[in-house]
Structure 1
Amino acid sequence: MSSIRYEINPDAVIVLTLDAPGSAVNLMSEAFRHDLHEAVKRVQLDLKHRPELLGVIINSAKSSFFAGADLKAMLKIGPSQAASFFEQVQSLKADLRALEKLGKPVVAMIQGSALGGGLELALACHHRIAVNKAGIEIGFPEASLGLLPGAGGIVKTVRLKGLQAAVQVISESKRLSVQEALDMGWITQVVASDDALMPAALAALRSGACSQVWDDPKHRIPGGGPSQAAIASMLSVAPAMLVEKTRGNFPAQEAILAVAVEGAQVDFETALRIESRWLTRLATGQVAKNMIQSFFFHLNEIKADRSRPQGEAARMTMKLGVLGAGMMGSGIAWAAASRGLSVVLKDVSREKAEHGKAYSARILAKRVESGKMSPDKAQAILQRIQATDVMQDLSACDMVIEAVYEDQALKAKLIREALEVLGEAAVFASNTSTIPITELAKASSQPEQFIGIHFFSPVEKMPLVEIIRGKKTNDATLAKAYDFVKQIGKTPIVVNDARGFYTSRVFGTYVNEGMALLGEGVSAARIENIAMQFGMPVGPLAVLDEVSLKLADDVLHMRGAKPVSDEDIRDRLSMIQSIETLRCLQEQVLAHDHDANIGSIMGWGFPAYTGGTLQFVHHYGPQAFLARSLELQARYGERFSPPALLHQLAKG
């Protein structure tokens, strides 16, 4: 069955309906490319023999227009397939160019999101008409997956909007609204409803307009090409700014800049070949595979609730209690209230509770000032937070999160006091980052309804929440915690109870290794710089007290330093985190690969280009990783001893 339905309607229009069989979305799969090639040949033949035909309409039978590349297939492309992959891309571009050069108008009717290859298909149409409705996204997300738009997306966007705008919107993987896409030139016309699409498309066909700006010999790139003074000035600093931002670890951003600049200096067809070559380099490399695995497949596993107990009904939180109005408690209150929940924020005094509520007021004031939120909406959010010093005010809450400092006795006292006023069905959660949940649950008369919900600081910016299941936590409680985290727009991972859980435990090995290097006489600056070059957001010593660190560094320099290579420093700081992650999986602290990878990237900033601490083993190569671990073990100690799971991975 073809993924493209072909018909000639009563208005003398060829209609190509994109409808991949057995799939909720249309993808740029091998089957689709074949079907497109056959459809283009048939269109050419029909237009040749039936001059009365007005042209072509391309629409979609799915809720979206087109979802982009077949990423499962992309994972299988290796260096040995580079030549054939390049030819596939060039063949696709030839079919898209054939649509552009039919001599009759081609119209894309866009009723849903058009992303990646879907937008490139639309750009091959002379008229791109989209419905202006909420939720439609238009853009190129490829850079966020280590790739670039390789079917003309960069080359055409440069010619539509100019070098600077094209590089920015594509390298940042921006998804635009329909109106924003109209301004970019990706869309040529906006209509108010689905019903208005066909009349607008017929009008476009009857206009007879069937040329693209990049085929006009008089057309000039908006803002000028690389030889123009203003653009040349921007380009003179762009590579350095890019390296500063990516530390040279994200080849897609470098490739996008190269395609845009090189392609702007040559004819259109040559520019398309340049784009194909850069895409081939990225698609056959490891970074794209890492990012596709984690940011598409693993993130989708979380979105599909793979770590949530199956069979448990959805349990939304209606009213949240937060114990402790410090930095974490205030942030949690904001996160919940901004998503529509009623919040009771309690501290030992009304003054401290109000101070915590003021945290949300400051965030809201900035949003109102910047025009991102109306004063009425800001006020409505703030009114959802009740500041109090009375424990009884928590009585109507169906979930309570304690967010006081790490004192087990204090937490136990608050747990007992809160449970005296809470209903029997309420869930109690701790925001602890270090104390075992099973230990804290001993203070509860309902340990099966006790769970860990570990937020990261600052709460309003950090997307991850680590949910910790205690030994007695039941499925219903875990499901409610999971639903709550998604309810407030965060990304949940689920771990089993153990000292340090997952994120604190693994991040701790990174900090400890930094201290070990310092103890061996390696300078603090060198340790921090190599960690940052690897891609960590902060060095391992940055979290330590600056004064004590300076004293330690001075003493060590007086003693003299041991020779440790940059390679050893980098591998010790990076691999220790992956080794500890493998131990967490082996000990069943973690149950799923997706929780490991997404948790490491979103939780403490393990470099995204690696795909996460577990995917980094595959990035390095399991056999090579094992061999290197054994070297580090022999040289630096048993903490680098390869877990049994690593031996299994190395065996394939």
Structure 2
Amino acid sequence: MNAQTYESFDVRTDRRGVTTITLDVPGRPMNVFDGSVMKELNDIVRRLQTDLDCKAVVFRSGKESGFLAGADVNAIAAISSPVEAAKLIDEGQRLFNTIDWLTIPTIAVIHGPCLGGGLEWALACDYRIARDNSSTKIGLPEIKLGLIPGWGGTQRLPKLVGLKNALTMILKGTHLSAGEAYKIGLVDQAISPDDWDDAVDEFVEKILISPHSVRSGSKRPVIQRIIEATQVGRSMIIAATKRRIDSKSKQYPALGAALRSVRSSYGIRPKGFMTERNEFIDLLATPTCRHLLQLFFDRESARSLRTWTDQTSIIHEEPIRKVGIIGAGAMGAGIAQLVGYRGYDVVIKEINEAAAEAGRTRVNDLVNQLARHKKMNESTREQLLGRIRIVTEDEPLSDADLVIEAIVEKLDVKRSVFRALDRITTPETIFASNTSSLSVTDMATATQRGNLVAGLHFFNPVHKMELVEVVRAKETNDVTIARLVGFVRGLGKTPIVTADTPGFLVNRVLFPYLGEAVLMVAEGHSVANIDKEVRRFGMPMGPLELLDQVGLDVALHVSRSLESVLSGLCPVVDQLAIMVEDGLIGKKASAGFYWYLNGKKKGVSKISQSMRGAPDAGIGDQYEARFVNEGLTPVQRRLIYPMLAESIRAKQEGVVQENWAIDLAMVLGTGFAPHRGGPLHTVDSFSEHVVHANLNQLQEVFGDRFVPPRLLVDMAKQNLTFFPKSNPQSNDRAVSRG
């Protein structure tokens, strides 16, 4: 085996007869399966079939970044026909079946990510061991791309970890740590990093001496194993799962496909693999899959410095190491926890010792929650807390590379803070505001460093929300943008660079939708029905529940700041002001559009007395026949179209230059139905002509807040779309429908 050389593999056999096959794909930061890797691995495995001197095989990665991230998504997206898809699946299934059927013991040695096709490779082996640290992530995330595992994952995983565990992993696309994988029997040993090399060698030695002595065995509860061992028990689990996913299966067909494939794993083996193959091929052509693939590539583009700045700026980009934060409130503490967790030194400045002590309590609570979630040991937790200082004096901020203000949303207060920072920090320190709507350019005029001032708009809760808007003020230079984009990427977030306009991108597009929901309640529409209709469209929660989560007082402040750019907000501001005046400010006050008990939503609140002066109650129903049918209900149309129109205006006015960035920001920042691809993709799917016609009708019925954007009118006339059809990797110029 040692004589043959490969581009991506190193193959060595030691004196014991153990062949170690190390994957290190050249030119890639992470190992992935592409055509050449598959071909080489197939050749290696074929040789193993006839190698009589080989006593055991170890598959491992030569990259410290991890084992294997899965199949090359670019290759999957490039598939243009069912024949190509079938070829890809058949090759993978044959290869892993060959590994599965080898008569010599096979061991997958896992560290870092082992995902998708990487885990399917490991499942084909006889044994799996994993390094037990935070970088190890084991899972089958294909569902997040609108697909299912296609190389045997739906067939082998249930046999190894049980039906219930397998369904959870596949349907949710969850990642397991080494310890979690060991608990369900997915890996045979979870090894401490301190013992890694020696323990791997010891494991291999045990295999050579007595292969069956190292099996981890099933870790499932006895009752679960008994239920899953019978056809009746499995049928009950399958039926319960089907009921749970039925409401989403139309939007996300991969859910049903995964369930059918897993169910087939308990039948005749060839039939099960054929079911998996056919389901994968069918899914690849669905709009949901194409949109989710597009979003995958959009994320990659958003995280690239080259997307937002020129090459010169990237060359001169200096990494940020120390971060100052002004204010230890909910947002300041949340940002501090994230920044500290990612390894940066953090100093939070508060106005007095009482506020500082409250901030310390808040940060401690957030760090403790994170420690429990990440299963940190006490030493790691203390190290994290040690990176976050909360002070009342200015001096600790003097050498910060970046200072983020996260204080009250008042322009004069923020300007005062920036003016003071200008005197106490180095001339190279970047200032960033976490404002959600105020002018960063106005804040920058309080300093002598306008080129180093920008916005960093984090979304709440900071640790959960992936999007960060990087706001380019009037004088912000490219080097500053490059440094901030790199910083956001280093936090594990996705940056979108926006212009400095009221509400930036997400709030500007979101508020016409939220405002329309408020007006509909004022007209007498059911709160519960409004939210239900929007969830049916594909949003994670309805607009009224979202307002409760954000806080109606916060929404009122943002809506007032948007009046200069959004039409028809005055009645919305008035209605929100009434609710805020009556103390109905949302979840944090236990009452808004809904009422809450211990943070749990319990029902619709009694808001009829708060929503006074209801305008135009019941208007519009008689006009329904005049709308072009694009598949929306009247309630959905009235709520979704404001977002579509404002997304087009954002493009028209250059708030964000790229079409895909608008869609990605709305998906990440608001949960806009991912299976639809985002607002601009939704416009394309309905057609610009239909959206234009329906906006005209909505304008006639409800007023000028529904006036069609000029860009939409022009595109409808010229028969243009925002995106080329069915090509996730293409650019996003407006193109002809042909």
Structure 1 length-normalised TM: 0.83
Alignment of 1:276-315 (within 5 A): 276-295=277-296, 297-306=297-306, 307=308, 309-315=313-319
Segment drifting more, 435-444 vs 187-196: 187-196
CA distance in 1, matches of 2:8, 2:479: 45
**Alpha-carbon distance change, 321 to 536 in structure 1, aligned in 2, over 3 angstroms:** same
1:69 correspondence with 2:75: no
Contact map agreement 1:521 1:561 (CA 8 A) in 2: no
Counterpart residue number, 1:429:
432
Query: Is 1:360 aligned to 2:428, yes or no?
Result: no
Q: What is the rounded CA distance, in whole Å, between the counterparts of 1:277 and 1:134 in structure 2? A: 36
Alignment of 1:448-459 (within 5 A): 448-459=451-462
Partner residue in 2 for 1:29: 34
Q: What amino acid is the match of 2:346?
A: S
Contact 2:347 2:397 survives alignment (8 Å): no
Moved more, 181-190 or 89-98: 181-190
CA distance in 2, matches of 1:101, 1:463: 42
The 3-state SS of whatever aligns with 2:135 is coil
Task: Output the amino acid matched with 2:345.
Answer: L
In 1, distance between residues paired with 2:358 and 2:14?
69
1:477 matches 2:497? no
The offset of 1:438, in angstroms, is 1.5
Q: Secondary structure at the match of 2:228?
A: coil
SS at match of 2:305: coil
SS in 1 for 2:432: strand
1:408 aligns with 2:411: yes
Secondary structure of the 2:502 match is coil
Shift of 1:331: 3.0
CA shift, 1:74, in A, is 1.7
Of the candidates 576, 581, 584, which is equivalent to residue 650 of structure 2?
584
Match of 1:428, SS? strand
Measure how far apart 1:427 and its partner are.
Answer: 2.5
Rounded Cα–Cα distance in structure 1 between residues aligned with 2:322 and 2:366: 23
Change (3 A) 1:529 1:467: same
Residues 6 and 16, structure 1, Cα contact 8 Å, conserved in 2: yes
Instruction: Judge conservation of contact 2:238–2:259 (CA < 8 Å) in 1.
Output: no
Residue of structure 2 in register with 1:562 after alignment: 621
What one-letter code is carried by the residue in structure 2 that aligns with 1:583?
R
Equivalent in the alignment of 2:167: 167
* Offset, 1:469: 0.9
Output the CA distance in 1 between the equivalents of 2:657 and 2:329.
Answer: 32
Task: Report the CA distance between 1:162 and its aligned residue.
Answer: 0.8
CA 1:355–1:273: 2 relative to 1, 3 Å: same
Aligned match of 1:633: 695
How big is each residue's C-alpha offset from its partner over 1:316-358, in whole Å with a ceiling of 9 and x where there is no partner? 1424031x444333433444444442323323x4433433332
1 CA distance for matches of 2:633 and 2:401? Answer: 52
- Kindly indicate whether the alpha-carbon contact (under 8 Å) linking 2:349 and 2:393 is maintained by their aligned counterparts in 1: no
> Could you say which residue in structure 2 is the equivalent of 1:531?
534
Quickly say closer, same or farther: Cα 1:205–1:85, change in 2 above 3 A: farther
**Once the 2 structures are TM-superposed, how far is the Cα of residue 170 of structure 1 from its aligned partner?**
2.4
Deviation, 1:453, is 1.6
Q: Which moved more, 1:310-319 or 1:33-42?
A: 33-42
Specify which of 338, 349, 357 is matched with residue 345 of structure 1.
349
- The one of 586, 600, 603 equivalent to 2:669 is 603
Farther-moved stretch of structure 1 (297-306 vs 281-290): 297-306
Q: 1:35 to 1:370 in 2, by over 3 A?
A: closer
Alignment-mate amino acid for residue 144 of structure 2? S
| Cα drift, residue 163 of structure 1 | 0.7
Contact 1:416 1:443 (8 Å CA) reproduced: yes
Q: Give the deviation of 1:501 after TM superposition.
A: 1.0
Cα distance in 1, alignment partners of residues 55 and 341 from structure 2: 51
| Secondary structure of 1:122's aligned partner | helix
Change (3 A) 1:321 1:96: closer
User: Aligned partner of 1:587: which letter?
Assistant: E
Residue 125 (structure 2) pairs with residue 125 (structure 1)? yes
> Equivalent residues in 2 for 1:45-124 (5 A)?
46=50, 51=52, 53-54=54-55, 58-63=59-64, 64-77=66-79, 81-82=81-82, 85-86=85-86, 88-110=88-110, 113-124=113-124
Give the whole-Å Cα distance in 1 for the aligned partners of 2:159 and 2:210. 23
Contact 1:402 1:429 in 2 (8 A): yes
Aligned partners of 2:347 and 2:391 also within 8 Å: no
Q: Give the alignment's TM-score, normalised by structure 2.
A: 0.74
Instruction: Tell me the SS of whatever aligns to 2:90.
Output: helix
Q: How does 1:456-535 map to 2 (within 5 A)?
A: 456-515=459-518, 523-535=526-538
Shift of 1:116: 1.2
Per-residue CA deviations over 1:349-400 (Å, capped at 9, x if unaligned) read 4433433332223334555678944556556655655555666775454433
Distance 2:363 2:413 in 1: 26
> Is contact 2:523-2:617 (8 Å) kept?
no
Mapped to 1, the partners of 2:503 and 2:707 lie a distance apart of: 17
For the 8 Å contact 2:320–2:401, the answer to whether it is kept is: no
Give 2:272's aligned residue.
Answer: 271
CA distance in 1, matches of 2:346, 2:131: 36
Q: Which structure 1 residue ranges, 5 or more long, are not aligned?
A: 214-219
Residues 582 and 311 of structure 1, relative CA distance in 2, 3 Å threshold: farther
Name which of 238, 241, 244 aligns with 1:238. Answer: 241
* Counterparts in 2 of 1:201 and 1:469: CA distance versus 1, 3 Å: same
3-state SS in 2 of match to 1:165: helix
Code of the residue aligned with 1:263 in structure 2: it is S
1:263/1:224 CA distance change after superposition, 3 Å: farther
List per-residue Cα deviations over 1:251-298 (Å, max 9, x = no partner): 33333233223433x123322222222222222222222222223x22
Distance 2:403 2:290 in 1: 40
Structure 2 gaps, min length 5 = 217-222, 548-575, 580-592, 594-605, 700-705, 722-733
Match of 1:225 among 224, 228, 232: 228
| Kept in 1: contact 2:696–2:707 (CA 8 A) | no
Q: What is the distance in 1 between the residues matched to 2:615 and 2:679?
A: 31
Shift of 1:158: 0.6
Amino acid at match of 1:630: H
The match for 2:138 is 138
Corresponding residue for 2:554? none
- Does 2:578 match 1:573? no
Which amino acid is 1:277 matched to? N
Worse overlay, 473-482 or 27-36: 27-36
Residue type at the aligned position of 1:275 = E
Return the alpha-carbon distance in structure 1 between the equivalents of residues 224 and 274 of structure 2.
19
Bigger relative contact order, structure 1 or 2 (CA pairs below 8 A, ≥6 apart): 1
Corresponding position: 1:649 with 2:735? yes
Q: What amino acid is aligned across from residue 668 of structure 2 in structure 1? A: M
Instruction: For 2:32, give the aligned amino acid.
Output: L
Shift in Å at residue 581 of structure 1?
A: 3.0
- The CA deviation at 1:508 is 1.7
Shift of 1:506: 1.1
Could you say if the C-alpha distance between residues 398 and 567 of structure 1 is closer, same or farther in structure 2, counting changes exceeding 3 Å?
A: same
Structure 2 CA distance for partners of 1:528 and 1:35, relative to 1, 3 Å: same
Q: Partners in 1 of 2:141 and 2:374 — Cα distance?
A: 26
Contact in 2 for aligned 1:130/1:178 (Cα 8 Å)? yes
Q: Provide the residue aligned with 1:217 in structure 2.
A: none
Q: How does 1:325-404 map to 2 (within 5 A)?
A: 325-339=328-342, 340-347=344-351, 349-366=352-369, 372-373=375-376, 378=381, 381-382=384-385, 387=390, 394-404=397-407
